[in-house]
Amino acid sequence: MMRRNFLRGLTVLLSVHWGALATAATPINAENTTLRPAVNQFMRSYANKLAKQLGPETRVEYTVSVLEAGAGDAICATPLKLNPKDAGQLSSRLNVQVSCGDAWSVYVPVDLAVFRPVVVAIKPIGPGSTIDSDDVQLAETDITQLFGQYLTDLDEAVNMSVKRSIPQGAAVISQQLVPPLMIRRGDVVVINAATSVIAVKMSGTALTDGRRGEQIRIKNQGSARVIEARVTGPGQVQTAM
């Protein structure tokens, strides 16, 4: 059994745009039955397939760590099988299991960097701010270093409110955003109530803040009755008759 002593690294940079991610063990042809070329052949294919899964404009860089000289050149009498053990989740580290039948099996760590254009802040954005189109841009970013759901479309961020500060140059994460307030406490709003045959509009006063889709308390200005109504737009709420 080869001992796991990963002391040397071979850096390979690869820009790719297409291919589908496979996770099953991959046999390597007889001419590639030494460890070094087998792992590099496997990673070229793996990176290409990962890029296809993530879509156009994806760029993958990887660094393969191999066994120390001598051990890394060991010959296998049968085609090697390589299996990515951590392919279910995208991270900066992938461990590739390399097996020579029942003779030996080793894990080769691979450092991954996966670059995609994501939404980043052009300047610091404070909590409570509403994101403007001049506040964000798309920039190539290593998504393995991001925590949370990153955004790839500027429209997903513009006009959203910020829950906590976003530093300049940082990726905008969906968990940092909430829909903007459409109604504030004390605002005069239009109460819309309708059935299949009649529609009524009344004036009311908002007793709580509200975002689109939220239920808020409204005081009917005509009857002084307090009702629950759903926010449908700026200054507009909907309630049942």
Instruction: Read off the pLDDT of each residue in 27-53 and give the average, rounded to a whole number.
Output: 76
- At residue 204, does pLDDT exceed 90? yes
120 located within any domain: yes
CA dist list (Å): 7 to 66, 69, 112, 156: 7, 9, 18, 44
pLDDT given at position 102: 85
pLDDT of residue 5: 34
Same domain, 173 and 100: no
Per-residue pLDDT of 168-177, as tens digits, reads 999 999 999 9
- Residues 64, 198: Cα–Cα separation, whole Å: 70
Residue 192 lies in a domain: yes
Task: Average the pLDDT over 61-86 and give the result.
Answer: 73
Last residue of a domain, one of 59, 80, 114: 114
- The domain of 229 spans 181-239
Same domain, 63 and 25: yes
Whether 222 and 194 share a structural domain: yes
CATH no. for residue 123? 3.90.1210.10
Q: Is residue 3 part of a domain?
A: no
Counting the structural domains of the chain, the total is: 3
Give the rounded percent of residues in the chain with a pLDDT score beyond 70: 81
Q: Is this prediction's pTM over 0.85?
A: no
- 34 and 98 in a single domain? The answer is yes
Q: Is the pLDDT of residue 132 over 60?
A: yes
Pairing of strands 199-206, 188-194: antiparallel
pLDDT at residue 100, rounded to an integer: 86
